[in-house]
Amino acid sequence: MRFSERTLAIKSSGIRRLFDLAQRTPGVISLGIGEPDQDTPVHVKEAAKKALDEGYTHYTPNAGFPDLREALAEKLRLDNGIDAAPDEVIVTGGGGTGALMLSALCLINPGDEVLLPDPGFVVYEAVVLMAGGKPVYVPLKEEDGFRMLPSEVEKRITSKTKCIIVNTPSNPTGGVLEEEDLKGIADLAVKHDLYVISDEVYEKLVYDGHRHLSIASLPRMKERTVTVNSFSKTYAMTGWRIGYAAAPKELIDQMVKLQQFTMVHAPAVSQRAALAALKGPQDFVKEMAEEYDKRRRFIVDRLNSIEGLSCLRPKGAFYVFLNIKKLGMRSEEVAMALLERAKVVTVPGVAFGPGGEGYLRISYSRPIDQLEEACSRIEKAIEELKGG
């Protein structure tokens, strides 16, 4: 068959390839896929059951139910300092990924350059290519805490630059952008008349006294920023496939138009569940963050005790970006060796961009006893690799 150049330009996800292999391997501990191991809160599931009984099985408005958009606008004002109106919010099918895709398709023309974090979430490059844009990689260095530094952004701005994608807290590194970083990027966006797509799906998972800051809350940034978020990580709702975005009304109107002809709308029952998540008790969110903090501390200390491996203590999300450079092997080789020898799934850093080579992404969204067993297996496998 003859496929479109657009399709052929997009690589399959390295994350999913390993996940599929793991599914066929008994006794595997997966530290690969990034999703909470907790179940969706009971009151959210009950709201979904009630919605089904009440007949929420039909089409909804393309932009989402009005009461959900109102609740999201309130959340954005209270939690993020973004003065959003309901008509400046879209509820998206496909989770945050759907919001990223709609944002890219609405903003990027063929030939436009888009600055991406490297390493960065695999979807960023894909949506830029889908829109016909050119990805330009901004290196995130370990010695800088894997932050997107304004100085590195500025070096890569040209007359063709249209947009900057920022992600804090970061997937895959766990890095968190400081206020000075965001202010510097904001100044560059204003100076060069650029748009910003800000992926904030891990906003509730920050540690060590750090606080999440939305770039759209900074002066002169609301009118040029798309704030992307979802319910997947905050409320353990990855399978519900519901996300949202906030942006100027004229951009939201265009995103709604595209959603009308692609995903149509987010699932009706997922929208009712999402409203219950927003309006209900938030204890679950706090408790999950506290649990991940314990796991984070444990796994960082344990991995750093293994000769040949090292990692920073991540400031957000639920990932460790493990430095394997002393092993002298490519990240794909090490990830495959750990799967075959230790039955532990990790993700090769190169899956997240060229700057990820020499690292593995490890998710600590597993109970501590499983993390301990996985680390013991990793330690044994690394000793075998070093011994030949």
| Distance in angstroms between the alpha carbons of the first and the last residue of the chain | 44
β-sheet bridge partners, residue 245: 90, 228
pTM: 0.96
**Whether 226 contacts 245, CB under 8 Å:** yes
β-sheet bridge partners, residue 244: 91, 229
Give residue 22's pLDDT: 76
Give residue 388's pLDDT: 60
Which pLDDT tens digit goes with each residue over 81-112? 999 999 999 999 999 999 999 999 999 999 99
Q: 46: Cβ–Cβ under 8 A, 6 or more apart, which residues?
A: 276
Q: DSSP character for 218?
A: S
- Out of 1.10.260.40, 3.40.50.300, 3.40.640.10, 2.20.25.90, which CATH number does the structure's domain 56-279 have? 3.40.640.10
**How many whole angstroms from its chain centre is CA 295?**
19
Give residue 23's pLDDT: 80
Which pLDDT tens digit goes with each residue over 19-64? 777 788 889 999 998 899 999 999 999 999 999 999 999 999 999 9
Buried b (16+ CB within 10 A) or exposed e, 214-224: bbbbbeebbeb
Q: What is the DSSP string of 178-208?
A: -HHHHHHHHHHHHHTT-EEEEE-TTTT-B-T
Average pLDDT, the chain: 96
Q: Which of 302, 243, 383, 339 has the alpha carbon at shortest distance from 17?
A: 339
Q: Using omega within 30 degrees of 0 as the cis cutoff, is the peptide bond preceding 348 cis?
A: no
The residues spanned by each domain of the chain are 5-40+283-386, 56-279
Give residue 307's pLDDT: 95
d(CA 246, CA 248): 7
Starting at the earlier edge strand, list the strands of the sheet with 161-167: 89-93, 242-246, 225-230, 195-199, 161-167, 113-118, 134-139
Give residue 386's pLDDT: 81
Give residue 21's pLDDT: 75
CATH class of 5-40+283-386: alpha beta
- Taking 70 as the pLDDT cut, the residues of the chain under it are 14-16, 388
Give residue 274's pLDDT: 99
d(CA 111, CA 324): 36
Q: What is the DSSP string of 114-147?
A: EEEEES--HHHHHHHHHTT-EEEEEE--GGGTS-
